[in-house]
């Protein structure tokens, strides 16, 4: 399978890094769009940089569309798409209807991986189901297929949540440091605590979040004290408001590209 990439920016670099870690890495062709990153990847993995986006399409079985969302449809329209070819958008908010028109007669797919693809830990949202796309993204982490586009757009907010969790870890790590812990240990402990939490939530789907918290936040516990302070200062209630704002923006982009 030959995989082409149009738009070799930040996310595309992580996708390539992840794919090239496989025992039998794919044949990847890069577009000239994003020249600096394309050169880095080409030098590191001995990949081909095509002279034009049209050449990427002509030489690829599957094309990952990784330009900025506002630029995507214009960048891929009028390229030599063909039947039995798959075009997979990894850009947030670009509606499937607009994508179908731009890449016809190729098959259009929406996806939303995150930078953790580099370490094969990306939770990738996918719509609609597609064997080729699943095969690619299963090499980079977990794949979550949605039955309709509205559910996909909602699920794809995981990209925002993933990114914002970095700020949460940073906040905890900086608190550790402010109280005397060395930076390396502060970073490792903060990240390890979140990873452990995610592991427990995943390993025990039969247990509700409230039941889990009842085990931890017992009367007089430090956990309960911390939770009460977060609630009093809006530290937890701010999450839905912030996510609503981001989701609204996502839907506006979707409507403008539909």
* Domain architecture of the chain: domains with CATH: 2-156 (3.40.50.720), 159-250 (1.10.3730)
Q: What order do you get walking across the sheet with 2-6 strand by strand?
A: 48-49, 27-30, 2-6, 62-65, 86-89, 107-112, 122-127, 141-145
Token representation of residue 60: 């690829």
Cβ neighbourhood burial of 110 (10 Å; 0-12, 13-18, 19+): buried
pLDDT (tens digit, 0 to 9) for every residue of the chain, 258 residues total?
A: 999 999 999 999 999 999 999 999 999 999 998 899 999 999 999 999 999 999 999 999 999 999 999 999 999 999 999 999 999 999 998 999 999 999 999 999 999 999 999 999 999 999 999 999 999 999 999 999 999 999 999 999 999 999 999 999 999 999 999 999 999 999 999 999 999 999 999 999 999 999 999 999 999 999 999 999 999 999 999 999 999 999 999 888 888 887
């Amino acid at each position: 399978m030959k995989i082409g990439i149009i738009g070799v920016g930040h996310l595309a670099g992580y996708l390539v890094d992840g794919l090239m870690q496989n025992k039998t890495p794919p044949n990847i062709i890069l577009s000239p769009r994003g020249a600096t990153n394309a050169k880095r990847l080409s030098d590191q993995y001995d990949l081909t940089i095509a002279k034009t986006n049209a050449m990427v399409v002509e030489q690829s079985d599957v094309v990952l569309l990784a330009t900025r969302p506002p630029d995507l449809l214009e960048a891929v329209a009028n390229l030599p798409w063909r039947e039995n070819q798959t075009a997979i958008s990894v850009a947030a908010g670009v509606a499937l209807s607009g994508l179908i028109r731009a890449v016809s007669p190729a098959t259009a797919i929406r996806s939303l991986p995150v930078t953790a693809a580099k370490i094969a830990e990306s939770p990738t949202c996918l719509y609609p189901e597609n064997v080729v796309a699943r095969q690619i993204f299963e090499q980079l982490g977990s794949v979550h297929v949605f039955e309709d586009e509205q559910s996909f757009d909602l699920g794809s907010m995981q990209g925002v949540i993933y990114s914002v969790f970095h700020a949460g870890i940073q906040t905890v790590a900086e608190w550790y440091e402010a109280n005397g812990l060395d930076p390396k240990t502060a970073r490792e402990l903060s990240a390890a605590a979140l990873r452990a939490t995610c592991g427990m939530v995943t390993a025990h789907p039969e247990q509700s979040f409230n039941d889990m918290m009842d085990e931890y936040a017992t009367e007089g516990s430090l956990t309960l004290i911390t939770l009460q302070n977060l609630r009093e200062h809006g530290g937890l209630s701010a999450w839905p408001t912030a996510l609503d704002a981001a989701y609204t923006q996502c839907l506006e982009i979707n409507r403008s590209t539909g």
